[in-house]
Amino acid sequence: MRDGKPRIALGTPGGRTIQQTTSQMVTNMLDFDMDVQKAVSAPRFSHVVPGLLVVEEGIPSSVTGELSALGHDVVPAEYLLGNAHALTVEYGEDGCPIRFTGAADPRGGGSVAGY
């Protein structure tokens, strides 16, 4: 929400990975200034197995090296982490929605369509 109006809507199935996938997408958009599609498509990490930090391909080796140096047991993901969909809402000067931008996760079979 921003100024009492919806700004971002997103969701993901996945049981134990829901909270991790959701927070990573929001962080990508708000802290790393990614657009909604880049935020959904970005490589992910997961800590669902105690003691292991699972990372998808695409997370830089410099990052995984630093995480290992901090004591994390970093392992490559054997499967894709999550399958999310999201959209953003932009508003005009009058406060009415003027644009919806959707994103489908390349890890899954979804798509984005508008009318």
**In a domain? residue 113:** no
Domain count, the chain: 1
Of 70, 68, 38, 41, the C-alpha closest to 56 is: 41
Residue 65, domain CATH: 3.60.20.40
**In a domain? residue 111:** no
Tokens of residue 2, six digits? 């921003």
Please report the pLDDT score of residue 49 as a whole number.
81
**In a domain? residue 71:** yes
**In a domain? residue 109:** no
How far apart CA 53 and CA 47 sit, in angstroms, is 5
pTM: 0.90
**In a domain? residue 28:** yes
pLDDT tens, 34-73?
999 999 999 999 998 888 999 999 999 999 999 999 999 9
Tokens of residue 67, six digits? 């995480």
The residue segments making up the domain with residue 63 are: 8-104
Supply φ then ψ for residue 98, to 5 degrees. -120, -20
Please report the pLDDT score of residue 115 as a whole number.
72
The residues, any chain, with a CB within 8 Å of residue 8's CB and separated by 6 or more, are 26, 29, 36, 86, 87, 88, 89
